[in-house]
Structure 1
Amino acid sequence: MGLYNTFVTHTLRESPAGHFTLADDDGCVPAPEPPAPSGAATAAAAAAPGGRTVSGCPASLRVPGAAHQRVSCLDELTTAGTVASGHTDPADWAGLTPKDLPTPSGVPGVQIDGYFPDTSATNTNHGWMHDAQFVLRLPDRWNGGLVVSGTPGNREQYANDRAIGDWVLSRGYAFAATDKGNTGTSFQRDGRRPGDAIAEWNTRLTQLTRAARAVVAQRYHRPPARTLATGMSNGGYLVRWQLENHPELYDGGVDWEGTLWRADGPHLFTFLPPALRHYPVYAAGGPAAGAARKAMHAAGYPAGSEFLWPYHHTYYWGLTQRIYREELDPGYPGADADYDWAARPERVRGAVDRIALTGRIGKPLMTVHGTLDVLLPITRDSDVYARMVREAGRGGLHRYYRVEGGTHTDALVDAFPDRLRPLVPCHRSAFTALEGWIGRGERPPAGRTVPLPAGAGAAELLVGCRL
């Protein structure tokens, strides 16, 4: 499954470029050096909360459990600097945010890239050809908090840099992200049993959270005062799962349109096959188009979202159904458009049950989801999860905001600025509301459908979202 237990001893070695790599004691440094940082190492002390200071380039930082790590001291930890310095990969986060999303800057600090022991090799970042890659960023000016995240889709560890990482770093948080242990459209080849690859995602975020908390304590000489989990899509699923299964590690989380898995459905296998069957009939026009449109609505795709259907049929629905079906039901012999979840054998249900959510969260959770999401339709996903949380008796720990005009991928706002609103500002509003909830006891606004402000332009919607 890409997880194995091996004890390996390591040593730190400094390269001529000023990076520190963690090498096996046999002397092998398993990866080439990245480009040198864009500026000089941040050796000058910076003021930190509570009157403490953080100074120097801490080559001695160790990520517990890492098989390989590289420490870099950078003048800029946000994408305003890491794109040029080679400490992010824009391909990881392409297509996730609006093109005009501002990039904060002025965040010097330490970045640690590396990977945990793993047997799969789908992640090509740094030429490592090794999964379970992670990135940790430790700003010189630290606010006492840590944000951890898993990636959306099947992307690599830098996928959240622009949507989440830049903003939380600019607010003083340490930030850590994982590739979840397998990446790409062949992620399902990782593991021995159906569901192994997805189950590893949860294990990897737990692993990273524990390691990142330890590294924060090394760097700042005290543990984080608060640890928050956040992520979008599959990353949102991880937030839900972590707060259900490891609430002791977190103070709260923000779930951005998390994927829902439950053995009884709904899930991808109950609403994607109808889309694959009925959309081509709708798109062809003719006398059957009206009935096909009604069937799409019945499957969960909301009226008014039709303008998004062609793009999702071309790029998302078929691919998503296939790769997750190959992960959880590899023995299925038919066409994915004909897939019938209710008719599949019990073993398939068991595979989904291994990764299923329960709603039994143990720490405060904020959920944001767009009403025009046509990859994870809101009535088949977050509406259901909110009900699960209430039925589990945890409704007091949950706030759920249905964002009118939001869709699954914020980059589509650039294509339809008069019909869609970005969810990035709504995620940030939920995050700051969570801070007030757990930090100052300020109860966040009651869950509701957040209306699209009348007459609001694209620039206004990009910088604000009143919950």
Structure 2
Amino acid sequence: MSTAPSPHRPNQAGPTRGGRPARAGRTLRRAAAAAAALVVLAAVPAAARPHGESDRTGRCPTTAPLTVPGAEHQATACLDELTTAGTAASGHTDPADWAGLTPAGLAVPSGVPGIQIDGYFPDTSRGNTNHGWDHDAQFVIRLPDHWNGGLVIAGSPGVREQYANDRAIGDWVLSRGFAFAATDKGNTGAAFHRDGDAPGAAIAEWNDRVTELTRAARAVVAQRYHRPAARTLVTGMSNGGYLVRWQLEHHPELYDGGVDWEGTLWRAQGPHLLTFLPPALRAYPVYAAGGAGAERARREMTAAGFPTGSEFLWPFHHQYYWDLTQRIYREELDPDYDGALEAGNPFCAPGTPACDADYDYGSRPRSVRAAVSKIALTGRIGKPLITLHGTLDVLLPISRGSDVYAAMVRDAGRGHLFRYYRIEGGTHVDSLYDAFPDRLRPLVPCHRSAFTALEAWVDRGVRPPSSRTLPRPAAQDSEALLTGCRLDGR
């Protein structure tokens, strides 16, 4: 979820750390502000050449306009730059949508001219305000002039919109010649649970929207380049990683493989965020208060899955992620828990009526498990999948997420299609690396290593290194950590 929802207290700065350099405090405040930008401002495209009108180099095609199958509306532009090096200025991305998802020092590639198509598919919800459309099921498709024959599909993390992957994923794959398509998943923002006609339906729509976009983008690629994509790869972080898993389980015919970056785990029997977040909401305030109960509360946190050694990340996540994440996803899957109240009471104390800190998934009615079953994963992937997950993830703890999913894949007899890399020092919010460079490791270079390994696997049959935990390099500078991540652990 990264990536996860915005805080419900967006005007408060992030917590500071006693004794830490001032830069860490500033970075945490920037991360807090980025989290607050989940429900983003509209990005209205600046002037751009319409499709079919050549620029002065004669680069853009003058053939019949490209058509996105099934789209209710589309707007096509010929751009000198498809990466955020150009789109942030031209209005063909929304920087607020990807704010806080990558380290500040991550390089921005450039020199990728091509065509961008923005639009939306038919939908009844109106949470996405990009372009002033006030319409969900928005998408973006980018078609570089210098195409390598591939297509990359991504769903947004958390409940962000279609541009959320632009910095972490889109810039890099476009610079390597891939066409790139992304979706807002059909509903956005911290009130996403209002969409759908039954518990679980809003999340289930996410899967349908990725399938819809994949089919449409494949058709558009064939129109633009006059041949189908040689390979279609799906990737994403957090909720986007969940979508990768689900697509490879249910629609392997559409893809050649996928990379899952800390995907969310859903299964009816648990574990999932409704089983490990309530214990954190109960125990963390006691731990933070210190005193006689603090050590017991810390043990309760680690028993819930939050790894020993991650304590320095707990204050930020308690203030900005755990509470809101629990409440809005619980509202989506179990709205009856708090009756007529919508998404509970923020930061309620245990014992307060219908408090999410007291939520007990195991004691809830069978209907709640039925709602989770609508979105549950099975592990029965049908195409190669690489999963990576940070060992210091304290939003979706690794022991309650990807460790479990890896076992599910093996139990389903699909281990030959799977590689799993546990990244020591990685956490869920990659921008926190800027605040704690001595303790954390950014995951974006590990995602890129996994992606190139997937390419070699599906293109040439070169199997990636075996699944393993990748140790955090002991003596590497920031630039090295931002640009390299060997999957063989060397």
Counterparts of 1:425 and 1:34, CA distance in 2: 30
AA aligned opposite 1:277: R
Matched, 1:35 2:28: no
Counterparts of 1:265 and 1:212, CA distance in 2: 34
Q: Could you list the per-position Cα deviations for residues 69-95 of structure 1 after superposition, in whole angstroms to 9, with x for gaps in the alignment? A: 000000000000000100000000001
Matched, 1:88 2:93: yes
Q: 1:35: how far off? A: 1.0
AA aligned opposite 1:439: D
AA aligned opposite 2:330: R
AA aligned opposite 2:46: P
Structure 1 residues 32 and 276, CA, compared in 2 at 3 Å: closer, same or farther? closer
Specify every segment of 5 or more residues in structure 2 that has no aligned partner in the other structure, as ranges.
1-41, 339-353
Alignment of 1:229-378 (within 5 A): 229-333=234-338, 334-378=354-398
Q: Could you list the per-position Cα deviations for residues 277-301 of structure 1 after superposition, in whole angstroms to 9, with x for gaps in the alignment? A: 0000000000000000000000000
Matched, 1:173 2:178: yes
Q: 1:459: how far off? A: 1.2
Q: 1:361: how far off? A: 0.1
SS at match of 2:335: coil
Counterparts of 1:349 and 1:278, CA distance in 2: 25
Q: Provide the residue aligned with 1:461 in structure 2.
A: 481
Kept in 2: contact 1:77–1:137 (CA 8 A): yes
AA aligned opposite 1:437: W
Q: Provide the residue aligned with 2:424 in structure 1.
A: 404
Matched, 1:433 2:453: yes
Q: 2:159 aligns with which of 129, 134, 154?
A: 154
Q: 1:419 aligns with which of 436, 439, 443?
A: 439
Q: Could you list the per-position Cα deviations for residues 41-89 of structure 1 after superposition, in whole angstroms to 9, with x for gaps in the alignment? A: 556467xxxxxxxx52556100000000000000000000000100000
Q: Provide the residue aligned with 2:28 in structure 1.
A: none
Matched, 1:79 2:99: no
Kept in 1: contact 2:44–2:92 (CA 8 A): no
Q: 1:458: how far off? A: 1.3
Q: 1:244: how far off? A: 0.0
Kept in 2: contact 1:41–1:74 (CA 8 A): no
Structure 1 residues 116 and 254, CA, compared in 2 at 3 Å: closer, same or farther? same
SS at match of 2:161: coil
Q: Provide the residue aligned with 2:210 in structure 1.
A: 205
Q: 2:132 aligns with which of 127, 132, 155?
A: 127
Counterparts of 1:212 and 1:359, CA distance in 2: 26
Structure 1 residues 124 and 445, CA, compared in 2 at 3 Å: closer, same or farther? same
SS at match of 1:332: helix
Matched, 1:451 2:462: no
Structure possessing the higher relative contact order (Cα contacts under 8 Å, 6 or more residues apart): 2
Q: Provide the residue aligned with 2:25 in structure 1.
A: none
Matched, 1:106 2:111: yes
Counterparts of 1:42 and 1:145, CA distance in 2: 25
Q: 2:230 aligns with which of 218, 225, 230?
A: 225
AA aligned opposite 2:412: A
Structure 1 residues 275 and 57, CA, compared in 2 at 3 Å: closer, same or farther? farther
Structure 1 residues 402 and 32, CA, compared in 2 at 3 Å: closer, same or farther? closer
Counterparts of 2:205 and 2:470, CA distance in 1: 34
Counterparts of 2:105 and 2:83, CA distance in 1: 16
AA aligned opposite 1:37: A
Q: 1:457: how far off? A: 1.5
Identity over aligned residues, as a percent?
A: 76
Kept in 2: contact 1:63–1:212 (CA 8 A): yes
Q: 1:37: how far off? A: 3.2
Structure 1 residues 33 and 98, CA, compared in 2 at 3 Å: closer, same or farther? closer
Structure 1 residues 314 and 59, CA, compared in 2 at 3 Å: closer, same or farther? farther
Counterparts of 2:451 and 2:147, CA distance in 1: 17
Length-normalised TM-score, structure 2: 0.86
Q: Could you list the per-position Cα deviations for residues 341-378 of structure 1 after superposition, in whole angstroms to 9, with x for gaps in the alignment? A: 11000000000001000000000000010000000000
Counterparts of 1:186 and 1:329, CA distance in 2: 14
AA aligned opposite 2:429: T
Counterparts of 1:179 and 1:43, CA distance in 2: 34
Length-normalised TM-score, structure 1: 0.90
Kept in 2: contact 1:92–1:156 (CA 8 A): yes
Counterparts of 2:407 and 2:265, CA distance in 1: 12
SS at match of 2:242: helix
Counterparts of 2:99 and 2:188, CA distance in 1: 15
Structure 1 residues 389 and 140, CA, compared in 2 at 3 Å: closer, same or farther? same
Kept in 2: contact 1:93–1:159 (CA 8 A): yes
Structure 1 residues 199 and 349, CA, compared in 2 at 3 Å: closer, same or farther? same
Kept in 2: contact 1:38–1:84 (CA 8 A): no
Structure 1 residues 32 and 83, CA, compared in 2 at 3 Å: closer, same or farther? closer
Specify every segment of 5 or more residues in structure 1 that has no aligned partner in the other structure, as ranges.
1-30, 47-54
Q: Provide the residue aligned with 2:199 in structure 1.
A: 194
Q: Could you list the per-position Cα deviations for residues 249-281 of structure 1 after superposition, in whole angstroms to 9, with x for gaps in the alignment? A: 000000000000000100001100000000000
Q: Could you list the per-position Cα deviations for residues 3-27 of structure 1 after superposition, in whole angstroms to 9, with x for gaps in the alignment? A: xxxxxxxxxxxxxxxxxxxxxxxxx
Counterparts of 1:286 and 1:298, CA distance in 2: 20
Counterparts of 1:38 and 1:290, CA distance in 2: 62
Q: 1:465: how far off? A: 0.3
Q: Provide the residue aligned with 1:442 in structure 2.
A: 462
Name the count of aligned residue pairs: 429
Q: Provide the residue aligned with 1:6 in structure 2.
A: none
Kept in 2: contact 1:42–1:109 (CA 8 A): no
